[in-house]
Structure 1
Amino acid sequence: MNITAIEVFPLKIRNEPVYLGDSRGLDPARDYYIRPEYRSIYSRNLETLLVKIEADDGSHGWGEALAPVGPEVTGEIVERLLSPFLIGEDPRDIDVIWNKLYDSMRERGYFSGFMVDAITAVDIALWDLLGKSVGLPVYRLLGGAHRKRIPAYVSGIPRQTKEERVQLALEWKARGFEAIKLHLGYGVREDASIAAEMREALGDDFRLMIDAHWKYSVPDAIRLGRRLEALGVEFLEAPTLPEDIDGHVEICRALDMAVAIGEAKRTRYQFKERLVKRAADLLQPDVGRAGIGETRKIANMAEAFNIKVAPHLSVGLGVCTAATLHLSAAIPNFHILEYQPSVLPVANKLLKDPIACEGGFYELPEGPGLGVELDEEKLRSWMKR
């Protein structure tokens, strides 16, 4: 079996409301804007990169790279740099191919960012193709499923007022969800106040998590964490700058609650020092940034440190979501998975059979490969918009 073709689909889908709700930085005249509260570039669209790889026996696989901004950049890397070295390769040699592509720009310092995102799209497509070629779901290829219903938390309560936030949170609770993550980072006092109002409304048994979006200094992160501990918050995500490993160590030692990190990291090499130094209590690699094979290696490494994995899942569409579900099923140290209420319905419009997340659980796709198939005709029509 040999690879015969690689096709890229940089996709931009207009979706309202914008991801995580409105922002003061949103400019109606431009697609991209900087959210002042998070300091990051966001898009008014849902953006992603899909990749299709075909083999000479007629089989194919779909991959996806998390590309919330500039998916055409990642697509260019796949087309111009990676594809010439993929044509003619055996698609079943997934680990060999990953290492070959990773090594190809390693000495130049391109061992993260857009380069690894591009490798990730290829990696996921190869796992999908392999599963389809042997008639098995990816989780079987990874060694089997520890679980077939994947517990999920609602990510974000994008409302402006206290009353609106509480009302939406109660609606999710009524629909059977038992966990919510709040996207905060507005200041220690305001973050603690919002968390307190949610705790009061949802009750002591409801699981609350906080994402601080790298907002705080180490002392302020500790101050916030201690206030959140009193509210029974399960974990504090991204409390300080992602490069500050020693700062995270200090935060972890000061708090009893779990500190979660990892969405910005892409390889086991980036997680290694953080594990050795105990700079996190919970890892959050994103399969759309690391790929299936590399995320499994990260999870295996974390298992040796008795640390669980709660995969990050933001604006990835159906292929990325399905890949994350298979990985989540196959690792023993899985904790919980993110659910994006504004993203999954859009993702499902491109799938022939939708992915279900109801009552606080995803259902694991059971078909060959990733268990999902894209509506290619619809995808191509969306590309022309």
Structure 2
Amino acid sequence: MKITKVEAIPIQARAIDKKPYWGSAAWGDERGTRGEISTEYPTPQRRRYVYSKTIDTVIVRIETDDGRVGWGEAKAPVAPQATAKIIDLLLADIVIGADPRETTLLWERMYAGMRVRGHRAGFYLEAISGVDIALWDLAGQAAGASITTLLGGSFRNPVRVYASGLPALPIDAPDDALAQLVADAVALRDAGYTGLKMAIGRGLKGDLRSIGAVRDALGDDFIIYADAAGVYSRAQAMWLGGALQDLGVGFFEMPTFPEDVEGYAELAQALTIPIALDSIGSRHEAVELIRARAIDVLQPDVCRAGGITECRRIAELADAHGLAFAPHISIGSAIHFGASAHLASAMPNTLTSEYWIGENPIGNVILDAPLLLDRGYLHTPTAPGLGLSIREEELRKHSA
């Protein structure tokens, strides 16, 4: 079996959700970044991120000489055309003519291609991720086994997922906005979820007001996670982490900017709340955090952190050091959700997995048979490879 064609399909799907994407609502606002003088620290210019108005990603389609088609996804929440070009111009030639079952060999060849130039994260790793997932899909099809089986078997199926996410409110938000936030949280519990994640970073007092209101409404047994997206200073994160642990928050995700490994170590060793991080690009970043005793929950994203091959390595590194694994998703197509489910099922140290609760124009609608989410548990497909049958015509409606 040899690879004959690699196609990268940039996707920009029109959002169908009535509410803005939760990450954009929490961290994408441009207030305070254009010309105003600010005395805040960290400065607002360091705390606002770029988000697309559409649902963006890159779908990878790989054909083999025996007629098989494998599907993958490269995380590209902005500028998917850039990621697609990396696949077209740099990665396709590396894998065409190769046996897709040689997943580790091909991963190393792709990674080495730009290693000397320092491309160890970001667009290049995201592009590798999409190709790698498609290779695993083909390997599973050829073996007549699911990716979970190729990874060594299922420790759990279905996988407990948490609802992601609800944006916290600033301290000056009106009472009716807080009441709506609480109502949204109660609706998620009533839908069967046992946990949710809140996007914080709207100010220390606003964050605590929002999480406190949700905690009061849902009770002590409901799991609440908090994601600050790295907007706080080390000192602010330390203060807030202490308050969050008093509220029984399950983990504190990206409490300060991810480059500050020393800061993460200080937080992880001073606080009892588990410190989590999703912006892990590879096992090399993971091992730096682990050696520094700077992390408790590793959250690599399969479509960002090197695909199945590299996320397996990260999860196993975490497991060897007694740390938890919790796949990150945030936003993406059904392929993203399916690949994450296989990892979550197969890794022994899986704590939980993220699940984006927004209305998804490239979710189950692009599948012949939908992924099954039942009262907060996602069922991992058991058919060969990813176990997903893609409605290609429906998918290509959203190509950019």
**TM-score, structure 1 normalization:** 0.94
Tell me which of 312, 321, 332 is aligned to 2:348: 332
Root-mean-square deviation (CA, aligned residues, Å) is 1.8
Cα deviation for residue 382 of structure 1 reads 2.8
Cα deviation for residue 358 of structure 1 reads 2.4
Tell me which of 302, 315, 333 is aligned to 1:287: 302
Cα deviation for residue 37 of structure 1 reads 9.5
Cα deviation for residue 175 of structure 1 reads 1.4
Contact 1:37 1:186 in 2 (8 A): no
One-letter amino acid matched to 2:365: K
One-letter amino acid matched to 2:381: P
Cα deviation for residue 25 of structure 1 reads 3.5
- Quick one: distance in 2 between partners of 1:232 and 1:158? 18
Tell me which of 195, 200, 212 is aligned to 1:184: 200
- Quick one: distance in 2 between partners of 1:64 and 1:83? 14
| Residue 266, structure 1, aligned to residue 275, structure 2 | no
**Deviations 1:207-237, CA, capped at 9 Å, x for gaps:** 1111111011111101101111111111111
Deviates further, 120-129 or 338-347: 338-347
Give the 3 Å change call, closer, same or farther, for CA 147–52 of structure 1 in structure 2: same
Contact 1:351 1:374 in 2 (8 A): yes
- Quick one: distance in 1 between partners of 2:58 and 2:362? 15
- What residue number does 2:10 align with? 10
- Quick one: distance in 1 between partners of 2:79 and 2:361? 22
- Quick one: distance in 2 between partners of 1:102 and 1:377? 32
Contact 2:10 2:59 in 1 (8 A): yes
- Quick one: distance in 2 between partners of 1:223 and 1:125? 43
- What residue number does 2:114 align with? 105
Cα deviation for residue 133 of structure 1 reads 1.6
| Residue 251, structure 1, aligned to residue 229, structure 2 | no
- Structure 1 residue ranges, 4+ long, deviating more than 4 angstroms after superposition: 21-24, 35-38
Counterparts of residues 227-376 of structure 1 (less than 5 Å): 227-261=243-277, 263-290=278-305, 291-342=307-358, 344=360, 346-376=362-392
Tell me which of 114, 126, 129 is aligned to 1:120: 129
- Quick one: distance in 2 between partners of 1:40 and 1:26? 9
Tell me which of 88, 103, 106 is aligned to 2:97: 88
- What residue number does 2:216 align with? 200
- Quick one: distance in 1 between partners of 2:101 and 2:239? 50
- Quick one: distance in 2 between partners of 1:309 and 1:149? 16
- What residue number does 2:41 align with? none
Tell me which of 50, 65, 79 is aligned to 2:88: 79
- What residue number does 2:21 align with? 19
Aligned residues: 376
Contact 1:302 1:308 in 2 (8 A): yes
- What residue number does 1:31 align with? none
- Quick one: distance in 2 between partners of 1:90 and 1:105? 22
- Quick one: distance in 2 between partners of 1:242 and 1:37? 12
- Quick one: distance in 2 between partners of 1:381 and 1:214? 35
Gap regions ≥5 residues in structure 1: 28-34
- What residue number does 1:169 align with? 185
One-letter amino acid matched to 1:317: S
- Quick one: distance in 2 between partners of 1:4 and 1:377? 21
Give the 3 Å change call, closer, same or farther, for CA 308–276 of structure 1 in structure 2: same
Contact 1:311 1:328 in 2 (8 A): yes
Give the 3 Å change call, closer, same or farther, for CA 136–237 of structure 1 in structure 2: same
